[in-house]
Amino acid sequence: MSARYNEIHARSLADPEVFWAEAAEAIHWERRWDRVLDDSRAPFYRWFAGGATNTCYNALDRHVEGGRADQLALIYDSPITGVVERFTYRELRDRVARVAGVLAEAGVEKGDRVLVYMPMVPEAVIAMLACARLGAVHSVVFGGFAASELAVRIDDATPKVVLSASCGIEPNRIVPYKPLLDEAIDIAAHKPGRCVILQRPQEVADLVEGRDLDWMAAEASAEPQPCTWVEATDPLYILYTSGTTGQPKGIVRDNGGHLVALNWSMKNIYGVEPGEVYWAASDVGWVVGHSYIVYGPLIHGNTTVLFEGKPVGTPDAAVYWRVIAEHDVRVLFTAPTAFRAIKREDPTGELIRPEQIAGLRALFLAGERADPDTVQWAEDRLGVPVIDHWWQTETGWSICANPAGIELMPIKHGSPTKPVPGWDVRVLDEAQHEVAAGEIGALVARLPLPPGSFPTLWQAEERYREAYLEEFPGYYKTGDAGYIDEDGYVYVMTRTDDVINVAGHRLSTGQMEEVLAAHPDVAECAVVGVADELKGQTPLGLLVLNAGVERDHGAIQGEAVRLVREQIGPVASFKTAIVVGRLPKTRSGKILRGTVQKIADSEAYTVPPTIDDPAILPEIAEALRSAGYAGG
């Protein structure tokens, strides 16, 4: 059943230059490349060296000139403010050209950096595309990020201009952005020359005379700018991700390889045709937002949805189905945590009306490991393929997926299926040897990585080598642990840091979470390894229950412990599960397991800047203390 996939995947590895040159024919090149793959500085590989193009041209102008001018490009749906706006390709291009004019008047030229600190509004998309139009390098920082963290990014990227807004809007509060931006600029050594501020009616900000511009006034008077041609190997953006040293890592994405890979992925992985509506329910501050709210769908000629809301609470757990119905969404891509939240609020799926999701063809999940119970729940209630796929900020698009546009292979719960064409995934032990099928080890990808993945870190080439290439020479270290089964299916079990050592046995916390999530009362869970004098580490489970569960917590905790001992065995030494009200997560939905572990072990920790709600940490500490752990 995977003959077509096998043929395409094999071809992509046997002759990657021919494979990706064919894919590149779908992109507009102002000047064709000299070499498809430049390996002259291996392991620092570059794709389409010598080629010239422009990402904004390929995302907007090409479609306007090619007959899609009146097709919808962007739908903005904000249940928080009650606003829905729609932009055709022509309308979006014209606004982008004017905002590019604002940047040009502020002195921005090709290669300059522009920092984007925005909520989920159309201007966030416009800002990114306007930078791309000029050949400037944008660095999007999640709106509402702490001033100290924003200052670090300002100093690293040294932006000439900052594009921001007066505020962001959460379901129950307004988050003023401008005071955070002002404080960050005060802290930073580098001082941007201009800040362009979108004034939202919910909170009007004070502007600094001589530095700050009112966005709409500046846009109205700006001269539209044409596209600036850039080298395929020139950077399109910098996206910061957390680093182990506390210093964020600036992931660099180039223009040429990124265009080719994302355009190829829309059809071959997600199975959408140009003109169809595609919705990535993420945030432009994260890599999913970059790749699949903004660039991928527009490059491919799709209509993309920008959603300013939450899976629950804006107003309820039915909002996704309303958006799918109103905008004729064909493919939805979101995080497993979003579906766990929906499942928790609506365990039986009563709010899912079949007529609302009749046009939906597939659900894709990524960001956190998609536990089989959540996948099964979504499959049963949506009646479409639910496809877990694995990728990272660094890779920019999927490493493994069930490629809907090539052929849907049988789904195995717990696996993101097989490596995407272009990716050669292996499992290695600590001695750098490949392990047998079914054995857990480090998941790595053979070099060179395909187009679209990151070629380096911003101004930190040696750090790039040390962090990703040194431990397994000839491979990219993903930082994830897992195994490949006898059918070639990849299983991503946990971050390598989350493999715990219990009395000499290396155990996956993800495998334990999979068992706990299958308990009928459990909405979501997390397992961490806590210090143990005798065994080194023992696992601790945190359980969040479904809405409406009123059973005794002690009984549920006991059942959870028995499940793990029955399905994994006594070797897991799983003896404690604690019911908590919620789990600490980043704004992108990733559970902060490392922080929980530090609290349990009374280790010093800092509140992660990406945390969704810092108030949850004292709640977790109290729950751990009540269960006999030190609790921080």
Q: What are the pLDDT digits (tens) for 40-77?
A: 999 999 999 999 999 999 999 999 999 999 999 999 99
Q: What is the mean pLDDT of residues 382-389?
A: 97
Name the class of domain 505-626. Answer: alpha beta
Tell which residue, 327, 336, 226, 222, has the closest CA to residue 288: 336
**Distance of alpha carbon 96 from alpha carbon 123, whole angstroms:** 9
Look at residue 506 in the predicted model and tell me its pLDDT: 59
Whose tokens are 């291996």? That residue is: 42
Say if strands 72-78 and 113-117 run parallel, antiparallel, or are unpaired: unpaired
pLDDT for the residue numbered 243: 56
- The three state secondary structure string of 498-558 is HEEEECCEEEEHHHHHHHHHCCCCEEEEEEEEEEECCCEEEEEEEEEECCCCCCCHHHHHH
Taking 90 as the threshold, does the pLDDT of residue 565 lie above it?
A: no
- In this structure, of 287-301, 345-359, 420-434, 528-542, the range with the lowest mean pLDDT score is 528-542
Residue 83 in contact with residue 306, Cβ under 8 Å?
A: no
Classify residue 380 as exposed, middle or buried by CB count within 10 Å of its CB (0-12, 13-18, 19+): exposed
DSSP letter at 424 equals -
10 Å CB burial of residue 186 (0-12, 13-18, 19+) is exposed
Q: Which of 227-231, 435-439, 566-570 has the lowest mean pLDDT?
A: 566-570
Determine which of 94-98, 189-193, 326-330, 537-541 has the lowest per-residue pLDDT on average: 537-541
pTM: 0.86
Residue 613 confidence (pLDDT) = 85
Measured between alpha carbons, how far is residue 430 from residues 440, 451, 603 in Å?
Answer: 11, 28, 27
Element (H, E) at 10: helix 3-14
Closest alpha carbon to 411 in 489, 482, 480, 483: 489
566 token code pair: 């029955």
State the Cα–Cα distance between residues 456 and 262, nearest whole angstrom. 18
pLDDT tens digits, 76-93:
999 999 999 999 999 999
Backbone angles phi, psi at 305, to 5 degrees: -105, 130
pLDDT digits (tens, 9 = 90+) for 134-174: 999 999 998 888 888 899 999 999 999 999 999 999 888 99
Q: Which residue has the tokens 């993800």?
A: 510
| 580-595 residue pLDDT tens | 999 998 876 788 888 8
| C-alpha separations of 94 from 83, 142, 516 in Å | 21, 25, 51
Using DSSP, state whether 344 is helix, strand or coil: helix
CA nearest neighbour of 42 among 423, 396, 456, 389:
456
* Cβ-defined contacts of 240-243 (< 8 Å, 24+): 240/139, 240/141, 240/153, 240/156, 241/393, 241/394, 242/608, 242/610, 243/467
Please report, for residues 448, 461, 538, 558, the alpha-carbon distance to residue 577 in angstroms, rounded to integers and kept in the order given: 43, 43, 12, 8
Q: How far is the C-alpha of 326 from the C-alpha of 312, rounded, in Å? A: 18
Mind listing the pLDDT tens digit for each residue in 521-562?
Answer: 999 999 998 888 777 788 999 999 999 999 999 999 999 999
For domain 3-309+389-482, give the CATH number. 3.40.50.12780
Report CA Rg, the chain: 24
Provide the percentage of residues in the chain whose pLDDT is more than 90: 80
Question: Is residue 503's pLDDT more than 80?
Answer: no
| Res. 1: pLDDT tops 70 | no
Residue of 315 and 149 predicted with greater confidence? 315
**CA geometry: angle at 243 spanning 112 and 594, to 5°?**
145
Domains of the chain: which residue ranges? 3-309+389-482, 505-626
State the pLDDT at residue 241: 86
In angstroms, rounded to a whole number, what is the distance separating the alpha carbons of residues 254 and 236? 5
pLDDT, tens digit, for every residue of 458-488? Answer: 999 999 999 999 999 999 999 999 999 999 9
Could you give the CA distance from residue 251 to residue 383 in angstroms, rounded to a whole number?
37
pLDDT of residue 172: 86
Contact 518, 563 (CB under 8 A): yes
Interior angle at CA 448, CA 444 and CA 453, nearest 5 = 80
- Mean pLDDT, the chain, whole residue set: 93
| 261-263-268-270 Cα dihedral, nearest 10 degrees | 110
Report residue 59: phi and psi, to 5°.
-85, -25
Share of the chain above pLDDT 70, in %: 97
Q: Is the alpha carbon torsion for 457, 444, 524, 583 positive or negative?
A: negative
